[in-house]
Structure 1
Amino acid sequence: MNAAPLADALKRSVVIHDRTAIETAIAKMAVRIRNDFAGSVPVYLTVMHGGLPFAGQLALELGARGLDLEFDYLHATRYRGAQTGGKLHWKHRPATSLRGRRVLLVDDIVDEGHTLAEVRDWCRSEGALDVRIAALAVKAHNRCVPGLTADYAGLSVPDRYVYGYGMDYHEQGRNLPAIYALE
């Protein structure tokens, strides 16, 4: 049994974005991304595990708008189940060559951005021509890594502990179809 049951967290949380709001935001993002990447086939890098639900939905929206993607993924984490981050730990690097390619990094949230900044820099060091970030949520605060922003952001979330739609509560709740905030 998990030391921090999801059911207890749900009792102390509020829905800040429901499934309809999330899907609407993703569809709007897809239009901008399709327009920006028209004429190319970007390497579509899903940041695991959190980016998976969002990346799947966004990929379908992009496909519906005629943008082809070359899929790969990466797994880099600073959290390892904790609520605060440490040193970046790579669990899987993409197998697709990034040299000379346009890359779209797809993740669940930009909080302070340390992980995404390191991953973005790694993509550039691998020879990517252009690296852009699509994030379902961006936390509303001013503590982000200087120079790191989501090029495509779906929703703003409060500066609280949020989970659902890819974001976890002690490695639980990633598959909830809404975004919750602890009160």
Structure 2
Amino acid sequence: MATTRDLTETAPPATDETITCQGERFRLYLTDEAIQSRLQEIGTAISEEYEGRTPILVSVLNGAFMVTADLMRYITIDCEIDFMKLSSYGDEKVSSGNVTELKRIDANLQGRDVIVIEDIVDTGLSMQFILKKMQAHNPASLRTVTLLHKPTSNDTDVTLDYVGFDIPDLFVIGYGLDYGQIARNLPHIYILDEE
């Protein structure tokens, strides 16, 4: 029997088939096991591509912090990390279309191998903004990782080098992804249940 949990209740981390967040119903879409398996594959590919080099990972806050932490564990070569923070959603389910930089990169990226890590790419506006900012630093190379990609809602011509999963154009929460800052702590990813 499927169970449903309301995230406003005090309870252990979700393993339920469905959950309620901000009054809306979400169903389990990707388990932690599936996420970890895919991140391990990406980590192996990065380790092979950058063997003999020390890439710097640029994690986009807040959503990509969990992806980045787990992905780094699967990268077997030396690497560094820095963070930038953007805002394009606020507390809404749909991007505002306006990207604002809230925290800049601290590291010197000139001549470095840079890998930008995002939790999700949907419209592509945030990634386009990030890549333009990164190019201005004159890196030796620039690659992208996103755990989730919504190909049907991508409005920009952005190259994604490593994609975890292509997903439908529905709102997702969990594993760093939030709905009004709630649900980032869920170990699995849930997708809006339209039924």
Do the aligned residues in 2 keep the contact of 1:6 with 1:169 (CA within 8 Å)?
no
Contact 2:92 2:179 in 1 (8 A): no
Pairing partner for 2:34 from 4, 9, 21: 21
Report what 1:45 is aligned to. Answer: 58
Any gaps of 5 or more consecutive residues in structure 1? none
Give the one of 161, 168, 174 matched to 2:171: 161
Residue correspondences, number: 175
Q: Any residues of structure 2 matched to 1:133-144 within 5 Å, and which?
A: 133-141=144-152, 143-144=154-155
The alignment partner of 1:87 has SS state of coil
Question: Which blocks of at least 5 consecutive residues in structure 2 are unaligned?
Answer: 1-5, 9-19
Contact 2:90 2:180 in 1 (8 A): no
Please give the secondary structure, in 2, of the residue aligned with 1:74: strand
CA contact (8 A) 2:122 2:153 kept: no
1:119 aligns with 2:123: no
Shift of 1:168: 0.8
Secondary structure class of the residue paired with 1:12: strand
**Residue-by-residue CA offset, 1:125-148 (whole Å, 9 max, x unaligned):** 1111211111111124153411x1
Higher RCO (C-alpha under 8 Å, 6+ residues apart): 1
Moved more, 123-132 or 44-53: 123-132
Displacement of 1:6 in angstroms is 4.1
Contact 1:74 1:93 in 2 (8 A): yes
The AA in structure 1 aligned to 2:85 is: H
Is the Cα contact below 8 Å between 1:53 and 1:175 reproduced in 2?
no
Answer yes or no: is the 8 Å Cα contact 1:16–1:157 preserved in 2.
no
RMSD: 1.7
Residue 68 (structure 2) aligns with = 55
One of 97, 101, 112 as aligned partner of 1:101: 112
TM-score norm. by structure 2 comes to 0.84
Deviation string, structure 1 residues 14-59 (Cα, Å, up to 9, x no partner): 1110111011011011111111111111111110000000000000
Partner in structure 1 of residue 16 of structure 2: none
* CA gap 1:142/1:13 in 2 versus in 1, 3 angstroms: closer
CA 1:78–1:11 in 2, change beyond 3 Å: closer, same or farther? closer
The percent of aligned pairs where both chains have the same amino acid is: 27
CA distance in 1, matches of 2:141, 2:34: 29
Tell me, yes or no, if the aligned pair for 2:84 and 2:104 is still in contact at 8 Å.
Answer: yes
* Cα deviation digits, residues 131-166 of structure 1 (max 9, x gap): 1111111124153411x1321111222210111111
Of residues 134-143 and 20-29 in structure 1, the stretch that sits farther from structure 2 once superposed is 134-143
TM-score by length of 1: 0.89
